[in-house]
Structure 1
Amino acid sequence: MTGSLEAVERALDGWRGDRPFVLGLCGAQGSGKSTLSADLAQGLNARGIRTAILSLDDLYLSHDRRAEMARVVHPLFATRGAPGTHDVERGLALLEAVKAGRGVTLPQFDKSTDDPAPEVEWARLDGPLDALIFEGWCVGARPQDEAALAEPVNALEGERDPDGVWRHHVNAALAGPYAELFARIDRLLLLAAPGFEVVERWRLQQEHALRAQAPDGARVMSDAEIATFIQHYERLTRHILFDMPTYADRVLRLDADRHLKDEP
């Protein structure tokens, strides 16, 4: 990811002004966006540019709140991931506080328990930031055309959302509260996978690393569960790879091994 880091640093130097700056970083699961964000923040902080990271994953709603959505709206909302399963109001408040130069507390979500970490473990940042990296698998995504929602894209949708209630609700969330959240981004960068086909392999690598680090008794997914899990992400990931290059401020195209294919 070295080439990607250097490309982002060059772009960010040209984009930043005197006010707090929010960089949106979108990339499919396992694409390396978290690593890139951490390396970029480390480099900027070393240069005296006070930088923090907000992950979209850390805005996930609790297991219980998603269970309630599953009961009221559609059973697929029990699984974290799709628009509709995040605390968008918290995200809006955080980005607005950053832009206003106020201190913020960054939430953390514990994927091994499928719930937010205790608030005492959240990171408190006093004083203004120069830059916030807002990273996530669908950060900056726009809704699909209604016609694109008609047919299922995989077995999960075909079997569990045959009438399209879930995918229409996800799309409406993107058009509404998520659009308001993403409007707070100053510049948007896309780490573009070569296709959705490599995402399952990347996500499996990610889960294997999580297993190795998880404490005894922590909930981690099997390979079969991952194969089902990523189907929740397939529709929007494919849409992002097709649509976002037309409006992102910078696109970094990756090969199947997550190497930068070409310098922007």
Structure 2
Amino acid sequence: MPPRVHPAAGFDAALVAQVLDDALASGVRIYGVCGLQGSGKSTLAKQVAAMARSRGVRVAVLSIDDIYLRRRDRLRLARQVHPLLATRGPPGTHDVALGCDTLDALRAGMPVALPRFDKLADTRLPPSRWRRVGAVDLVLFEGWFLCTPPQDDDALRDPVNAIERDEDADATWRRYCNDALARDYPALWSRIDRLLFLQPPDFATVPQWRWQQEQAMQARRAGSRGLDRAGVERFVALFERVSRQALRTLPGIADRTLRLDAQRRPVGWGSA
């Protein structure tokens, strides 16, 4: 079992080494790190990348957040399909083709520019500001719902929260997201050679984790405006349906599952 450490300092070096060794096993080229909002997946990916570089491994990190659709594209979806599609994050609001092309180029050892999304500005940065990388040995691909399967149609009928009840009464939005998850995302998931899932104790911990994440992001960019606490609660609610589906299914899908307690401390490490 990995050591219990305080998340403010990041994950323990022994755990980071364990994840890196798992990522380097069996000829893995693209290693997925999946965790719900605020779980520490980005922190862990950065720590693993730093340790890999210290060992002489050429590594790149790509987040699914960096392939969000641009704001203007989401606003078009909001007009044409449903207003909730203006908000980034749920399935159907990513440029899946861009993600596939980027991962394919990285796997092939080709120079590539890594997409970047500015969350406070809520739009993707122009390609001129993307970081170019050369050939790499390992890609760490991190995201909140990697490899999550769609739900059965019957499961979409009843709302899971007030947003679905009041703003998606006819289920148009959640059906669009679920259809996209079934139709578009398997191509992206197929690029992942091995998957680690950071499992929270339950969904109820996620809003608090996401609020802590928001505060840290705003502190790094003094003077910038982000979400307040109510905004974070609403934002997390937009992810609730797919997050709960991830919690139900990913422990049986991921190659490795790292269980976390409510303070994000590792309490168990296992295989599917």
Normalised to the residue count of structure 2, the TM-score between the two structures is 0.92
1:188 maps to 195
Structure 1: gaps of 5 or more residues: none
Are 1:222 and 2:228 matched, yes or no? Answer: yes
Letter in 2 for 1:213: R
Q: What is the alpha-carbon distance in structure 1 between the residues aligned to residue 47 and residue 240 of structure 2? A: 27
Per-residue CA shift, 1:25-48, capped at 9, x if unaligned? 110000000000000011111111
Normalised to the residue count of structure 1, the TM-score between the two structures is 0.95
1:210 maps to 217
**Match 1:145 to one of 142, 152, 158:** 152
Are 1:7 and 2:18 matched, yes or no? Answer: yes
Structure 1 SS opposite 2:60 = strand
Are 1:54 and 2:65 matched, yes or no? Answer: no
Are 1:262 and 2:263 matched, yes or no? Answer: no
Are 1:247 and 2:253 matched, yes or no? Answer: yes
**Alpha carbon RMSD of aligned pairs, Å?**
1.3
Q: What is the alpha-carbon distance in structure 2 between the residues aligned to residue 4 and residue 241 of structure 1? A: 22
Conserved 8 A contact 1:7-1:263: no
Conserved 8 A contact 2:68-2:94: yes
**Match 1:16 to one of 27, 36, 56:** 27
Q: What is the alpha-carbon distance in structure 1 between the residues aligned to residue 43 and residue 161 of structure 2? A: 29
Per-residue CA shift, 1:93-120, capped at 9, x if unaligned? 0111122221111011011110112322
Q: What is the alpha-carbon distance in structure 1 between the residues aligned to residue 15 and residue 76 of structure 2? A: 40
Q: What does 1:81-120 correspond to in 2, within 5 Å?
A: 81-120=89-128
Structure 2: gaps of 5 or more residues: 1-10
1:238 maps to 244
Are 1:161 and 2:168 matched, yes or no? Answer: yes
Structure 2 SS opposite 1:180 = helix
Q: What is the alpha-carbon distance in structure 1 between the residues aligned to residue 219 and residue 138 of structure 2? A: 32
Deviation at residue 215 of structure 1 after TM alignment: 4.3
Q: What is the alpha-carbon distance in structure 2 between the residues aligned to residue 120 and residue 229 of structure 1? A: 29
Conserved 8 A contact 1:4-1:252: no
Runs of 4+ in 1 over 4 A off after TM superposition: none
Q: What is the alpha-carbon distance in structure 2 between the residues aligned to residue 240 and residue 79 of structure 1? A: 20
Are 1:67 and 2:75 matched, yes or no? Answer: yes
Per-residue CA shift, 1:158-195, capped at 9, x if unaligned? 11111111111111111111111111110111001111
Q: What is the alpha-carbon distance in structure 2 between the residues aligned to residue 208 and residue 48 of structure 1? A: 34
